């Protein structure tokens, strides 16, 4: 499986994810506080370079989804057809995370059938134990249906 190729701006996201926390970068300037994603060096609203990582509730709704079929990279082809979802966060609908809808934290990418997915469905974040068989890679935020 592909693991995130992390840059300086994105590193904190993955460090929090390793602890099972979903955090989004926010401007730390008093009076601004805009959330931004993906992470980047400065705030496009007030141009402050100070940022903090705000903890999210982990609740959201499915904004869209796809079901990829081969040809795909081998590890993904092995689980295809699987789903990829875009989730808009409950706290900030314009913060949208790409992820997978799964039946549990360590379930495979195809553990929720495509017919069960719909735009607008409420979802909750979970964190698997790690990417790949070794279970020692980065922990990805994954999503389960609030009402399975």
Residues of this chain that bind other proteins (CB under 8 A): 1-7, 10, 14, 37-38, 44, 63-69, 71-73, 76, 79, 81-82, 84, 86, 94-100, 109, 114, 119, 131, 138, 140
User: Phi, psi (5° rounding) for residue 94?
Assistant: -85, 0
**Of 30 and 148, CB closest to Zn ion:** 30
Instruction: Round to whole Å and give the CA distance between 91 and 93.
Output: 6
- CA distances to 51, 114, 144 from 68, rounded to whole Å, are 36, 10, 19
Tokens of 95: 């913060």
124 binds, among other proteins, Zn ion, none (CB under 5 to 8 A by kind): none
**Of 30 and 141, CB closest to other proteins:** 141
Tokens of 108: 């495979």
**Of 30 and 99, CB closest to other proteins:** 99
55 binds, among Zn ion, other proteins, none (CB under 5 to 8 A by kind): none
Contact call for residue 80 and Zn ion (CB under 5 A): no
Count of CA atoms in the C-beta half-sphere (13 A) of 119: 4
- CA distances to 42, 64, 96, 135 from 32, rounded to whole Å, are 12, 29, 20, 39
The DSSP output letter for 71 is: S
**Of 28 and 80, CB closest to other proteins:** 80
Sign of the dihedral through C-alpha 10, 15, 16, 22: positive
**Least CB distance to other proteins at residue 12 (A):** 12
Q: Which of 17, 24, 43, 89 binds Zn ion (CB under 5 A)?
A: 43
Q: Which stretch binds Zn ion (CB under 5 A): 13-21, 33-41, 106-114, 123-131?
A: 33-41
């Amino acid at each position: 499986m592909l693991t995130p190729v992390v840059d300086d701006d994105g590193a904190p996201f993955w460090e929090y994810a390793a602890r099972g926390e979903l955090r989004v970068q926010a401007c730390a300037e008093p009076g601004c506080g805009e959330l931004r994603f993906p992470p980047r060096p400065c705030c496009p609203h007030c141009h402050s370079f100070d940022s903090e990582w705000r903890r999210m509730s982990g609740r959201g709704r499915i904004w869209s989804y796809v079901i990829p079929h081969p040809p795909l990279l081998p590890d993904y082809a092995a689980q295809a057809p699987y789903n990829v979802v875009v989730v808009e966060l409950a706290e900030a609908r314009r913060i949208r995370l790409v992820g997978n809808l799964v039946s549990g934290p360590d379930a495979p990418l195809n553990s929720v059938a495509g017919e069960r997915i719909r735009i607008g469905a409420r979802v909750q974040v979970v964190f698997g134990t790690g990417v790949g068989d070794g279970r020692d890679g980065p922990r990805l935020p994954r999503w389960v249906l609030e009402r399975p």
